[in-house]
Structure 1
Amino acid sequence: MDLRDQAGEAVAGLLARPLRTALTTLGTVLGITTLVVTLGVAATAGNQVVGHFDALVATAITVEVPGTPGAPLVAWDAVDRLTRLRGVESAAALSESEDTANLSVRSNDIVDPARITTQSLPVVAATTGLPGALRGTMLRGRFYDAGHVRRGDRVAVLGDQAARLLGITRLDGAPAVFIGSHAYTVIGVLGGLRRERDLGAAVFVPPTAGARFGLRTVTRVLVNTGLGATALVAGQTPVALSPGNEDLLQVVAPPGPTRARDAAQDDVNALFLILGLVSLVVGAVGIANVTLVTVLERVPEIGLRRALGAARRHVAAQFLLESTLIGLAGGVIGTSLGVVAVVAVSAAREWTPLLDARLALAAPVAGAVVGLLAGLYPALRAAKMQPVDSLR
């Protein structure tokens, strides 16, 4: 028997029992479909997570400004030059110190033993672009502007946690907070911070007002860039902030997310790969079981073939071809269903489907290999049968 004869006999054997063949193929279909869907959805979802990770983390730059005797390294208006750089979306300069990290702040000037109105809160001087630099929103009121800074107005903006601690929930009555002996009108509450969330418990004042508390020089600059511009902006920022002293500034730029992304993606893929392999094992057990039952049902046929001169390898090859064809058919159908499922899930979630073409090509081959391995034991058992015993 040549290969064509064996292939014809294998196809005839499968078509002789179409319902059993379809049910046996279903196990491989489910295994391959699960494998393709899990890996495809994992890759698609991972791509979305990485996009959010890039937007929220990989675009943030912090510049640490050391204190030096004499003139400050970074002027308050240097941020204006920084925002003109291509790729910079928002920036703000801050002044913080240990002396202002726990100042006494109270919401009124009345001593009420039944109510705690005094809190120890950090006071921070910042430029007008702080809400954008912190990726926050004004929950109430507004942030101070250049006019407040120029006039030296005694205004303040509270972080949402600071406002809650001080019991300030409304601004229509122009509430004031007392920092030490100085009164400041609260004009806004800043919250929803997606960067430097600890500043939600701070009191923000203009640089002119911060000078009263020793906050005269810039200690930090927060910069947000567009995607892909972090490395370029990180190199240009020191020059824009302090020409000639750029070597003294320390730029903290986030590392590229590639390594962390790949590690997380590998972990997710490994998890879903295990789930897909378990499904494949279940399908392989089904193929092996049905093939073994088929061998036992076709004992007379095997004996007749052997009596007519078929070698053991011919019998083994026939059953191996049958199980391999079952696995291949299940692989092709499962791959097709898996690809459709990945596209459907992506469309429902409004994601961009991401599926490796190598996976779509390798999945049918994997199904065929599973079928081949599953039929190995039944084929060897059929090949070892003696013609006399089989015919008897």
Structure 2
Amino acid sequence: MKVRDLITEAVSGVGARPARTVLTIAGVVVGIGTLVTTLGVSATAGNQIAGRFDAATATGITVHVPVPTGKDAPPAVSWSAPGNVARLNGVTAIAAWSRTPEGRDLPVRANAVRDPTRILDRLLPVLGSTETLPAATRASLAAGRFFDAGHVRRRDRVAVLGALAAEQLGLTRIDNQPAVLVDGTAFTVIGILGTVGRQDQQVLGTAVILPWTAADDGLDLGPISTVAITTALGAAQLIARQAPVALDPNDPEGLEVDAPPDPASLRGGVARDVSGLLLILGLVSLIVGALGIANVTLVTVLERTAEIGLRRAMGARRRDIAIQFLLESTVIGLLGGIVGASAGILAVVAISVVKQWTPVVDGTLAAASPLVGALVGLLAGLYPAMRAARMQPVEALRGPS
């Protein structure tokens, strides 16, 4: 046979039994879909669960301080207040800073020469910080050093640049003691930040960081706007409740605190993620089983057309034929549910023994599994049963065409 004839015969064979072909194709589709869904959902749920555990191990707290209502109003948090928090049991590092308001960054340039043909000013966020900022934000230094308590006390005009800020200003080295002009005031660059470990403080990478005393003198950045706290593992929730009182005893509710999630809520979230993943996989498996039952029942109907014709000729009603095949598919589903529930319980026990876990089996789910299997079999047998019931006795007695 020619290739063209072979293709024609194959297409004709596929189209000869369209219902059976559709069910078979649906089985393959669901099977491949199950594989893709399993891998995709597993990866997605894995990332979700990993993200929750990252949140659990996070020990970072951020306190946002409101802006004073008036120009002469006292600051909500004084620059000495972070020392009160540092004395709390469980605090490993704390830093405070003020910064330019959102949308009102200051012009910064690294060249004092004015060139009308070039735009040298960069609008960057400027921070006036305590010397403990790297420890509290888990920031590393790519070059140079960070300013210390001496710089703060002496009100030295020094600056540390974030990595992106240094790149925008064209500064890659500090051994020649470069200077930057922040809103026209010169500051000597003594360091460049590297990576910032805390994800909620990535703004530091684009900022110009100054000692808060020098920033207050030359730029009038104002009082503390942010306090970053790093705690020991497990102490974040307690410190999140104590820090506002230590920072502002008069009005602790006025401070906004961002803290890691509570371990109890984390546990519930992880449990829901895992349960949702397994539920999706279980439903997909049920669909595969239902298509298998439907396909087998349809094949049975096609193979027993003579029997169906004989029963109709002897007086069996359409309803009797339909009920017969529905009962067969329901029994198949019921047996599958019983065997599946038993196999599932044994698998849970076996895996728990190997992994040295404590097996946990939902008794209600195990008891309901045979009923679920019977329902799946009943639904899967609807089309084949209707197909059998619609057969005319004379046509059925001729057998399959």
Equivalent residues of 2:329, 2:381 under 8 A apart: yes
1:109 aligns with 2:112: yes
1:49 aligns with 2:58: no
- Return 84-93 or 168-177, whichever deviates more: 84-93
Q: Match of 1:218, as an amino acid?
A: I
TM superposition shift of 1:186: 0.9
Instruction: For residues 184-209 of structure 1, give each alpha carbon's deviation from its aligned partner in whole angstroms, at most 9, with x where no partner exists.
Output: 22111225442243443321111221
3-state SS, counterpart of residue 217 of structure 2: helix
Q: Which residue of 2 aligns with 1:62?
A: 63
In 2, Cα distance between equivalents of 1:335 and 1:271: 13
- Return 120-129 or 84-93, whichever deviates more: 84-93
Instruction: For residues 365-388 of structure 1, give each alpha carbon's deviation from its aligned partner in whole angstroms, at most 9, with x where no partner exists.
Output: 655542342234545776899999
3-state SS, counterpart of residue 92 of structure 1: strand
CA-atom RMSD, angstroms? 5.4
TM superposition shift of 1:156: 0.7
3-state SS, counterpart of residue 289 of structure 1: helix
CA pair 321-251 structure 1, distance change in 2 beyond 3 A:
closer
Q: Match of 2:139, as an amino acid?
A: G
TM superposition shift of 1:154: 2.5
In 2, Cα distance between equivalents of 1:251 and 1:99: 17
CA pair 48-366 structure 1, distance change in 2 beyond 3 A:
farther
3-state SS, counterpart of residue 171 of structure 1: coil
TM superposition shift of 1:168: 0.6
TM superposition shift of 1:81: 2.7
1:253 aligns with 2:255: no
TM superposition shift of 1:128: 1.7
In 2, Cα distance between equivalents of 1:46 and 1:367: 31
1:208 aligns with 2:213: yes
The equivalences for 1:376-387 within 5 A come to 376-378=382-384
Q: Match of 2:258, as an amino acid?
A: A
CA pair 333-140 structure 1, distance change in 2 beyond 3 A:
farther
Equivalent residues of 1:94, 1:218 under 8 A apart: yes
Equivalent residues of 1:31, 1:334 under 8 A apart: no
In 1, Cα distance between equivalents of 2:337 and 2:102: 73
Pairing partner for 2:191 from 188, 204, 223? 188
1:166 aligns with 2:150: no
1:324 aligns with 2:325: no
3-state SS, counterpart of residue 188 of structure 2: strand
In 2, Cα distance between equivalents of 1:381 and 1:212: 89
Pairing partner for 1:236 from 242, 249, 252? 242
Equivalent residues of 1:60, 1:223 under 8 A apart: yes
TM-score by length of 1: 0.65
Q: Match of 1:48, as an amino acid?
A: A
Pairing partner for 2:294 from 265, 288, 293? 288
TM superposition shift of 1:89: 4.7
In 1, Cα distance between equivalents of 2:343 and 2:32: 7
1:370 aligns with 2:370: no
Equivalent residues of 1:128, 1:143 under 8 A apart: yes
In 1, Cα distance between equivalents of 2:287 and 2:306: 31
In 2, Cα distance between equivalents of 1:90 and 1:223: 6
- Return 283-292 or 319-328, whichever deviates more: 319-328
TM-score by length of 2: 0.64
TM superposition shift of 1:326: 7.2
Q: Which residue of 2 aligns with 1:79?
A: 82
Aligned residues: 349
Equivalent residues of 2:82, 2:247 under 8 A apart: yes
3-state SS, counterpart of residue 200 of structure 2: coil
TM superposition shift of 1:167: 1.0
Greater RCO, CA 8 A, separation 6+: 1
